[in-house]
Amino acid sequence: MPLLAIETSCDETCAAVMAEDARLLSNVVASQEIHEQYGGVVPELASRMHLQHIAGVVRKALERAEVAPLQLNAIAVTHGPGLIGSLLVGLSFAKGLALDLGVPLLGVNHLEGHLFSNNISPEGPQPPFLSLIVSGGHSMLAHVEDWNRYRILGETQDDAAGEAFDKVARILGLPYPGGPQIEKLAAAGNPHAIAFPVARLKDAPFDFSFSGLKTAVLYHVRKLLSNEAATSGEQQSLTQVKADIAASFQHALITAILETTARAHEKFPVSSVALAGGVACNKTLRQALMELGQTRGFQVFYPPPIYCTDNAAMIARAAMIRLTHMRGTNGSAYQHAPMPGLKLDSNL
């Protein structure tokens, strides 16, 4: 009997259906382009768009899976972390449907979804493995000791990796979301043109910090602009200047991620490292991590782009893992409330 999963923690309305043997039967994502014009997600607009999309997205997921609502045996829904208004739409919809159908409702941590997004495929990593979650809202390194036992080794102390990509893109006048734009521009640039700082946190060796890097890019651009005013004429082409900044920023950010991963692997010499979250779409990061894996002796896993960014297939998979290896459903459908600041913790 299949499970329906719903995810609405940020700006994507998602639903997926997964069979009891963990085969993915459908995966539907409705993205919200409306935020592009504002250069970032506007929470109020995100909840309104979720309200408009949720019923159609769930219906489409059931139709594509050829599953009738009455055939469902459980519903899983993201209950945190995320934007409270966005979470509330998915959670209320899931609660109403679960109560109507008389099936259990399972609250899933969004980060647990990213953590197991490489396991939507049966060829995914088997514990123990290290998981590197790099997205628009989060950057963390976790040690997955077993399916039901994992712990966070480090997190970002300020901006998330995707957030840094988005903010630097904005500085360079590129549209939101900035990650793919920076990656494209960086392909034509020299990654060693500018030595941007790579944060190394002595007291927190597995933590990240990207805000200093973002500020360094901002100061660099300001300095260039004031020089340009003083010496207009024999300048490099603007496109090349931007490409060099994009490539040098990307290089510094990837270096920070690789150094932190290498330190964690030194302490936890696992044979697999799983990359997840929107920034895991970045091909330069994937390539660099695979090279590190060859040197250090670990295999790198990363999901296809559709499972890197927010989706409900990963929520379905995390729910299945929870049902199989943990404590079953965590409470009755009535008890679930949105938890915007929910932490990743296998004891919850």
Nearer to ligand KG4, 183 or 207 (CB): 183
| Closest distance of CB 186 from ligand KG4, Å | 9
Q: Does the footprint of ligand KG4 cover residue 277 (CB under 6 A)? A: yes
* Contact window for ligand KG4 (CB under 6 A) among 23-31, 141-149, 177-185, 236-244: 177-185
Work out which of 8, 131, 282, 329 binds ligand KG4, going by CB under 6 A.
Answer: 282
Nearer to ligand KG4, 2 or 80 (CB): 80
Spatial separation of the C-alpha atoms in residues 335 and 183, rounded to whole Å: 43
Residue 347 burial by Cβ neighbours in a 10 Å radius (0-12, 13-18, 19+): exposed
Sheet holding 272-276, edge to edge: 149-155, 139-146, 129-134, 272-276, 299-301
Nearer to Zn ion, 135 or 209 (CB): 135
Work out which of 135, 209, 329, 346 binds ligand KG4, going by CB under 6 A.
Answer: 135
Spatial separation of the C-alpha atoms in residues 345 and 348, rounded to whole Å: 6
26-29 contacts, C-beta under 8 A, 24 or more apart: 26/60, 26/61, 26/62, 26/63, 26/64, 26/65, 27/61, 27/306, 27/311, 27/312, 27/313, 28/57, 28/60, 28/61, 28/64, 28/312, 29/57, 29/306, 29/309, 29/310, 29/311, 29/312
In the block, which residue shows the tokens 């449907």? 97
Angle between helices 161-171 and 178-186 (to 10 degrees): 70
Nearer to Zn ion, 81 or 191 (CB): 81
The helix (H) or strand (E) run that includes residue 88 is helix 84-101
Q: Does the footprint of ligand KG4 cover residue 113 (CB under 6 A)? A: no
| Residue 112 contact partner, candidates ligand KG4, Zn ion, none, CB within 5 to 8 A by sort of partner | none
Q: Does the footprint of ligand KG4 cover residue 10 (CB under 6 A)? A: yes
Q: Does the footprint of ligand KG4 cover residue 177 (CB under 6 A)? A: yes
| Residue 189 contact partner, candidates Zn ion, ligand KG4, none, CB within 5 to 8 A by sort of partner | none
Q: Does the footprint of ligand KG4 cover residue 310 (CB under 6 A)? A: yes
- Kindly state the number of chain residues that form the binding site for ligand KG4, as judged by CB under 6 A: 20
Nearer to Zn ion, 118 or 135 (CB): 135
Work out which of 179, 191, 293, 338 binds ligand KG4, going by CB under 6 A.
Answer: 179
Q: Rounded to whole angstroms, what are the CA distances from 82 to 46, 94, 140, 235?
A: 11, 16, 16, 44
Nearer to Zn ion, 135 or 272 (CB): 135
Work out which of 310, 312, 322, 339 binds Zn ion, going by CB under 5 A.
Answer: 310
Q: Does the footprint of ligand KG4 cover residue 178 (CB under 6 A)? A: yes
Look at residue 155 and give its three-state secondary structure: strand
Q: Which residues bind Zn ion (CB under 5 A)?
A: 135, 310
Using CB under 6 A, list all residues that contact ligand KG4.
10, 135-138, 162, 165-166, 177-180, 183, 277-279, 281-282, 309-310
